[in-house]
Chain A
Amino acid sequence: MQGYFWFVGKRLLQLFAVIFCGISATFLITHLSPIDPVEQVLGRLSARSNLSPEAIASTRAALTEMYGTGQPILNQYFNFWTRLLRGDLGPSLLAFPTPSMELVTRAMPWTLGLLVTSTVFTFVIGNLLGALAGYNPDNRFFKAFGLIAMGVQPIPYYIVAFILLIIFGFLFPVLPISGGFAMDVRPAMNWQFILSILQHSLLPALSLVLVGFGGWFLGMRALVSNVVNEDYVTYAGLAGVKKQTIVGGYVIRNALVPQLTALAMALGGVFSGTVITEQVFNYPGIGSLLIDGVNYGDYSLVLAVSTVSITAVALAIFIVDLLHPLLDPRVRAE
């Protein structure tokens, strides 16, 4: 048990290091760049309206105070962290004066729901089928499946999402292709609303599953086909251990350990995939927020989305890592 605590402690340290470095990087990128957020906002404001020079000057002073860009960079950095720890990243310009953190927390459930369900589903199904394919290398069905997985897997997210959009949006318009729920449904906890959410999330989730599935399938198939040839599997077979026990307890369990590590490493990529999916299907999550923020030049919103997403991905990796010792007792004993 002590080994497990050491393991958790080490991972916890790493978690904080990742979050600290990631967020510091976002700060440095935004604050060391030659482009001043105040001037950007002013440019946007004065492009649309006719402001007097005095008004521009006072807006500039107000914005400089709001962003705190007049101070030395170290002060800014400390201010940034103290404010961040209170969960305050300033008002969003996109929806002034709503705090940008509030916009992020509003969008978060959509992204989380889509991401968690599709990732878990992809991981479980992909690995299960991959394991069966590796265990039965001569099965025709699995061979065909492997070919399909190989063909779909390398195609970039965007293309797959776009092809789905064309198929289900233009050729066979059966599924809704845009939004989080139907326009005429009121957000409340009733069947109609939930059904509408499910219906709208089907296509985005399908694109995520299609893209992610192949990698797990192929990886697991390769791993299992190696594990099957290990001596202990042959021995268990000769000793008359039931086939289900061999597949579930010996083969899959051992092959799953590297796959779990791969899952932790893939999460960052999965997140970037969601951003695209949300953009393509106009889903009201964090990715759409990020893109809107960039397009409107909304400084604090972009900062908020990046800090939250870096923290969330790091946390998710941490959680997956904690599952590791459950599968692999060696990690516990170390």
Chain B
Amino acid sequence: MFSVFRDLIRYNIEFAIGLILVGAVVIFACLSYFAPVDPTLIYVAMPDQPPSGQYWFGTNSRGQDLFWQLSAAFRNSLIFGITVAVLSRIISITVGLLSGYVGGWVDRVLMFINDIFVAVPIFPILVLFYFVLRNNMDSFTLALIMACFGWPFDARLIRSVALGLKHREFTRHAVFAGMSTPKILLEEHLPYVMPIVFSTFMANMLWSIGLEVTLAVLGFTNLNNPTIGTVLYWAISHSAIVVGVWWWIVIPVVLIVMTFLGLFLLAVSMNEYIDPRSRLRRMGA
């Protein structure tokens, strides 16, 4: 595991850049655990102060120190993304491995459901959920709903790997040795799909955080909970650019671009690493 990591950093500049970007954002987000102020409170600092020695990122029109505000926002958004990714990975691994290994009508039924989930547009459904739940919709509920829609594409990918593994010799050995199906799937097949799980993990986080930003800037989430999206929502609703409080928009946007670019590079470079052909081409072997 560690040597894979070392190889990736050494031979894959995209992975290294992605790691630095995401690492910086994660450290920044972790700082929020030492925050001297509660990020949900408003009017605790002087409003509209430009970045200075006292307020590194300035303060916004709601009287919040942007540094701690953003730090908490990124922590919440990252936790949100990880929650969605973990939950949807569980579903996609279960469905993918089962459907690939068991085959037959189980496969057909699961894939039929899978195709339905792929085709249903999630955005109107999320808006609908907000419409009926209104302020009862906290970020865990949202994560749960998104996880229910975030698995089908990856389940198909895992299924295609599982289909190949099914006919490999070690699977037959395991079957003849009397291993139960769940045990084969967990102990024999799961390690083979782990690289895909990792790379889709990043892609899924991108997707879910992006959707959360989208929902929040439209005002369709709990706006008192600081996330990347709600910070932007408040900046826009206070017309930050027109008023001249540019740091309220520019700093979050720069950080968002860093996060997304970093996660994307990690996902892409891991994807490339999985494919032995492109890995060899890069390492020059």
Contact = CB atoms under 8 A, between A and B. Distances in A.
Nearest to A265: B118
Nearest to A35: B132
B256 A155 contact: yes
A159 B124 contact: no
A198 interface: no
Given A155-B256, A268-B120, A302 B134 contact: no
Contacts of B209: 156
Interface in B231-271: 232, 236, 241-242, 253, 256-257, 260-261, 263-265, 268
Given A26-B128, A159-B257, A265 B153 contact: yes
For the complex, would chain B's binding face be called helix, strand, loop or mixed by DSSP majority?
Answer: helix
A158 B261 contact: no
B127 interface: yes
A268 to B, nearest CB: 4
Given A29-B128, A29-B129, A290-B127, A21 B253 contact: no
Given A154-B263, A159-B256, A317-B119, A306 B217 contact: no
A163 B253 contact: yes
Q: Pick from B119, B209, B261, B268 the residue with the most CB of A within 10 Å.
A: B119
A17 interface: yes
Contact of A268 (B121, B241, B260, B265): B121
Interface size class of B (residues with CB under 8 A): 35 or more
A128 to B, nearest CB: 21
A218 B232 CA distance: 29
Contacts of A317: 119
B206 A313 contact: no
A96 interface: no
Contact of B120 (A22, A150, A170, A295): A22
A151 interface: yes
Contacts of A163: 253
Contacts of A314: 119-120
B115 A156 contact: no
A210 B118 CA distance: 24
Contacts of B129: 29
Contacts of B132: 29-30, 33, 35
A295 B261 CA distance: 33
A120 B220 CA distance: 30
B264 A272 contact: no
Interface string A146-165: 00001101111111001100
A156 B214 contact: yes
B124 A305 contact: yes
A153 B264 contact: yes
B170 interface: no
A17 B116 contact: yes
Interface in A7-44: 14, 17-18, 21-22, 25-26, 29-30, 33, 35
Interface centre among A17, A264, A294 (most CB of B within 10 A): A294
B58 to A, nearest CB: 18
Given A155-B256, A158-B214, A310 B264 contact: no
Given A170-B241, A272-B214, 5 more contacts: A22-B125, A154-B206, A162-B253, A275-B123, A302-B128
Interface of A: 14, 17-18, 21-22, 25-26, 29-30, 33, 35, 150-151, 153-159, 162-163, 166, 170, 218, 222, 226, 229, 264-265, 267-269, 271-272, 275-276, 279, 290-291, 294-295, 302, 305-306, 309-310, 313-314, 317
29 contacts: A25-B125, A26-B128, A29-B125, A30-B131, A33-B133, A150-B264, A150-B268, A154-B261, A154-B263, A155-B256, A156-B214, A156-B260, A159-B257, A163-B253, A166-B241, A265-B153, A268-B120, A269-B121, A272-B122, A272-B123, A272-B214, A275-B123, A276-B218, A279-B218, A294-B130, A295-B219, A302-B128, A305-B124, A306-B125
